[in-house]
Amino acid sequence: MTVHCNAPPHGRGWHSTARRDSAPGPAGASAPDAVAAASTQPTGLRRSRAHAWFVAGFLLLLGGSLHAEPQILASQPPTTEPAMTTTGFTIVAQADPYASDFFDPSLLDAGAEARETETAEADDDLLDEAAYEALEEAAPDVDLLIQRLPEGNFNDRRAVAEELAATGDPRVPVVLGALLEGRLLATAEDPPRILIRAETGRAGRDALTGEPVDADLIASGRRIPVHNPLRNALRSLIAVSTLSAPDPERRATSLRRLMRDDVSPDLLEYLDDRVELEDDPRVMDLLLTVRALARLNVDDAQVRLESVELLRGSLLSEVRVRLEATANRDDDPEVRAAAREALDSIEARIRFFRFTENLFFGLSAGSVLLLAAIGLAITFGVMGVINMAHGELIMIGAYTTWFIQTLMPGALSTSILLAIPAAFVVAGLVGIAMERGVIQFLYGRPLETLLATFGISLILQQAVRTLFSPLNRPVQSPDWLSGTLQVNPVLALTWSRIYIFIFAIMVFVALLLVMKKTSLGLKVRAVAQNRPMARALGVRTGWVDALTFGLGAGIAGVAGVALSQLTNVGPNMGQAYIIDSFMVVVFGGVGNLWGTFVGALGLGMMTKFLEPHTGAVLAKILVLIFIILFIQRRPRGLFPKKGRAAEA
Amino acid sequence: MTQSPWLKSLRTPGVALALTLSAGAVQAEDPIKVGILHSLSGTMAISETTLKDTMLMLVEEQNRNGGLLGRQLQPVVVDPASDWPLFAERTRQLLEQDQVDVIFGVWTSVARKSVLPVVEELNGILFYPVQYEGEESSRNIFYTGAAPNQQAIPAVEYLMNEYGIERWVLAGTDYVYPRTTNRILEAFLKAHGVADEDIMINYTPFGHSDWQSIVADIRRFGSQGKPTAVVSTINGDANVPFYRELGNQGISAEDIPVIAFSVGEEELSGMDTRPLVGHLAAWNYFMSVDTPENAAFIDKWHDFIGDTRRVTNDPMEAHYIGFNMWVQAVEAAGTTDVDTVIDALKGVTVPNLTGGMAEMLVNHHITKPVLIGEIQEDGQFLVVWQTDDLIPGDAWSPHLPGSRDIIADWTPPISCGNFNTVTQTCSGQNY
Burial category of B340 from C-beta neighbours within 10 Å (exposed 0-12, middle 13-18, buried 19 and up):
middle
**Binding-face residues of A in 332-361 toward B, CB within 8 A:** 357-358, 361
- Please count the residue pairs, one from chain A and one from chain B, whose beta carbons lie less than 8 angstroms apart: 149
Chain segment B229-251, per-residue pLDDT in tens: 999 999 877 888 899 889 888 88
Q: Left if phi > 0, otherwise alpha if psi is -120 to 50, otherwise beta: which for A6?
A: beta
At residue A452, the pLDDT reads: 94
Percent of chain B with pLDDT over 70: 93
Average pLDDT over residues A244-273: 78
Chain segment B325-340, per-residue pLDDT in tens: 999 999 999 999 999 9
Distance from CA of B107 to the nearest CA of A (A): 15
Which residues in chain B have their CB less than 8 angstroms from residue A576's CB?
207, 209, 237
- Cα separations in angstroms, A516 against A332, A511, B122, B400: 70, 9, 66, 64
- Cα separations in angstroms, A495 against A350, A353, A420: 21, 18, 18
Question: For A381-411, where are the alpha helices, taking DSSP H only?
Answer: 390-407
- Residue A504's pLDDT band (boundaries 50, 70, 90)? very high
Average pLDDT over residues A408-412: 85
A623 or A20, higher pLDDT: A623
pLDDT exceeds cutoff 60 at A49: no
Note whether A228 contacts B213, CB cutoff 8 Å. Answer: no
d(CA A63, CA A353): 44
Average pLDDT over residues A318-347: 85
Chain segment B60-96, per-residue pLDDT in tens: 999 999 999 999 999 999 999 888 899 999 999 999 9
A263 or B321, higher pLDDT: B321
Q: Are A94 and A8 in contact (CB under 8 A)?
A: yes
Q: What is the mean pLDDT of chain B?
A: 89
| Backbone angles phi and psi of B381, in degrees to 5 | -110, 140
Pairing of strands A484-488, B126-128: unpaired
Of the candidates A256, A212, A254, the residue with the CA atom closest to the CA atom of residue A237:
A254
At residue B429, the pLDDT reads: 64
A517 or A266, higher pLDDT: A517
H or E element that contains B318: helix B314-333
H or E element that contains B383: strand B381-386
Interhelix angle A333-376/A575-588, rounded to 10 degrees, is 90
Chain segment A185-238, per-residue pLDDT in tens: 888 887 888 888 887 777 888 888 888 888 888 888 888 888 888 888 888 888
Percent of chain A with pLDDT over 70: 77
Q: Alpha-carbon torsion B164, A163, A222, B355, what sign?
A: negative
At residue A52, the pLDDT reads: 41
β-partners of residue B385 are B372
Chain segment A119-136, per-residue pLDDT in tens: 333 333 334 444 445 555
Chain segment B389-408, per-residue pLDDT in tens: 899 999 999 998 888 889 99
- Those residues with Cβ within 8 angstroms of residue B124's Cβ, 6 or more apart along the chain or in another chain: B35, B91, B94, B95, B100, B102, B103, B118, B140, B338
B64, amino acid identity: R
Note whether B250 contacts A483, CB cutoff 8 Å. Answer: yes
DSSP-based three-state secondary structure for A349: helix
- Per DSSP (E only), the strands in B133-247 are 141-143, 167-173, 199-204, 228-233
- Residue A106's pLDDT band (boundaries 50, 70, 90)? very low
Distance from CA of B296 to the nearest CA of A (A): 22
DSSP-based three-state secondary structure for B300: helix
Q: Are A247 and A106 in contact (CB under 8 A)?
A: yes
At residue A238, the pLDDT reads: 82
Which residues in chain B have their CB less than 8 angstroms from residue A470's CB?
40, 45-46, 49
pLDDT exceeds cutoff 80 at A16: no
Note whether B203 contacts A616, CB cutoff 8 Å. Answer: yes
d(CA B301, CA B353): 13
Selecting from A324, A476, A570 the residue whose C-beta is nearest the C-beta of B272 gives A476
DSSP-based three-state secondary structure for A615: coil
- Residue A381's pLDDT band (boundaries 50, 70, 90)? confident
- Cα separations in angstroms, B8 against A396, A466, B79, B309: 21, 9, 19, 13
Chain segment A438-466, per-residue pLDDT in tens: 998 988 888 999 999 999 999 999 999 88
* Best A257, A394, A471, A609 residue to mutate vs chain B (most B CBs within 10 Å): A471
Distance from CA of B163 to the nearest CA of A (A): 6
Question: For A190-277, where are the alpha helices, taking DSSP H only?
Answer: 215-220, 228-239, 248-260, 268-277
**Binding-face residues of A in 518-557 toward B, CB within 8 A:** none
- Residue A294's pLDDT band (boundaries 50, 70, 90)? confident
A499 CB within 8 Å of a chain B CB: no
Selecting from A231, A476, A611 the residue whose C-beta is nearest the C-beta of B213 gives A611
Of A94-103, B52-61, B189-198, B373-382, least confident by mean pLDDT is A94-103
List strands edge to edge, sheet with A212-213.
A212-213, A204-206, A194-197, A184-186, A222-223
Q: How many CB atoms lie within 10 A of CB A21?
A: 10
- Cα separations in angstroms, A639 against A147, A372, A433, A602: 73, 19, 31, 13
Q: Radius of gyration over alpha carbons of chain A, in Å?
A: 33
At residue A32, the pLDDT reads: 41
Average pLDDT over residues A479-488: 83
β-partners of residue B420 are B406, B425
Q: Left if phi > 0, otherwise alpha if psi is -120 to 50, otherwise beta: which for B284?
A: alpha
- Per DSSP (E only), the strands in B63-133 are 73-78, 102-105, 126-128
At residue B250, the pLDDT reads: 83
Note whether A364 contacts B213, CB cutoff 8 Å. Answer: no
A237 or A371, higher pLDDT: A371
Chain segment A164-187, per-residue pLDDT in tens: 887 877 788 888 888 888 888 888
Q: Are B286 and B371 in contact (CB under 8 A)?
A: yes
- Residue A102's pLDDT band (boundaries 50, 70, 90)? very low
**Binding-face residues of A in 607-626 toward B, CB within 8 A:** 607-608, 611-612, 615-617, 620
At residue B178, the pLDDT reads: 92
d(CA A223, CA A196): 10
* Best A360, A469, A623 residue to mutate vs chain B (most B CBs within 10 Å): A469
pLDDT exceeds cutoff 70 at A92: no
pLDDT exceeds cutoff 70 at B2: no
Of the candidates A591, A589, A587, A585, the residue with the CA atom closest to the CA atom of residue A524:
A591
Q: Are A611 and A603 in contact (CB under 8 A)?
A: no
- Residue A77's pLDDT band (boundaries 50, 70, 90)? very low
Distance from CA of B391 to the nearest CA of A (A): 22
At residue A430, the pLDDT reads: 95
Q: Are B52 and B36 in contact (CB under 8 A)?
A: yes
Distance from CA of A474 to the nearest CA of B (A): 4
Distance from CA of B200 to the nearest CA of A (A): 12
Q: What is the ipTM of this complex?
A: 0.76
Q: What is the dihedral of CA A188, A189, A191, A196, to 10 degrees?
A: -60
Which residues in chain B have their CB less than 8 angstroms from residue A232's CB?
254
- Residue A14's pLDDT band (boundaries 50, 70, 90)? very low
Distance from CA of B42 to the nearest CA of A (A): 8
Distance from CA of B82 to the nearest CA of A (A): 12
A567 CB within 8 Å of a chain B CB: yes
Selecting from A482, A572, A615 the residue whose C-beta is nearest the C-beta of B248 gives A482
At residue A148, the pLDDT reads: 85
Average pLDDT over residues A252-275: 78
Listed ranges A34-43, A203-212, A588-597, B377-386; the one with the highest mean pLDDT: B377-386
Closest Cα in chain A to B162: A229
β-partners of residue B200 are B169
| ∠ CA A529-A532-A535, rounded to 5° | 100
pLDDT exceeds cutoff 90 at B59: yes
**Whether the predicted model's global pTM rises above the 0.80 cut:** no
H or E element that contains A185: strand A184-186
First to last CA, chain A: 94
Q: Are B366 and B393 in contact (CB under 8 A)?
A: yes
Note whether A567 contacts B209, CB cutoff 8 Å. Answer: yes
Domains, chain B, with CATH or none = 5-147+290-368 (3.40.50.2300), 152-260 (3.40.50.2300)
Chain segment B210-233, per-residue pLDDT in tens: 898 899 999 989 888 889 999 999
At residue A212, the pLDDT reads: 85
* Best B202, B212, B220, B244 residue to mutate vs chain A (most A CBs within 10 Å): B212
Of the candidates B126, B101, B108, the residue with the CA atom closest to the CA atom of residue B42:
B108
At residue A80, the pLDDT reads: 36
A390 or A23, higher pLDDT: A390
Of A222-226, A504-508, B191-195, least confident by mean pLDDT is A222-226
**Binding-face residues of A in 473-492 toward B, CB within 8 A:** 473-477, 482-484, 486, 492
Average pLDDT over residues B258-266: 92
B384 CB within 8 Å of a chain A CB: yes
- Residue A331's pLDDT band (boundaries 50, 70, 90)? confident
d(CA A30, CA A463): 81
Q: Are A359 and A501 in contact (CB under 8 A)?
A: no
Selecting from A474, A486, A575 the residue whose C-beta is nearest the C-beta of B272 gives A474
Average pLDDT over residues A571-590: 88
d(CA A102, CA A174): 9
Cis peptide before A24 (omega within 30 of 0): no
**Binding-face residues of B in 12-51 toward A, CB within 8 A:** 40-41, 43, 45-46, 49
Which residues in chain A have their CB less than 8 angstroms from residue B83's CB?
none
Selecting from B43, B266, B374 the residue whose C-beta is nearest the C-beta of A227 gives B374
Chain segment B339-364, per-residue pLDDT in tens: 999 999 999 999 999 988 999 999 99
DSSP state of B388: S
At residue A255, the pLDDT reads: 83
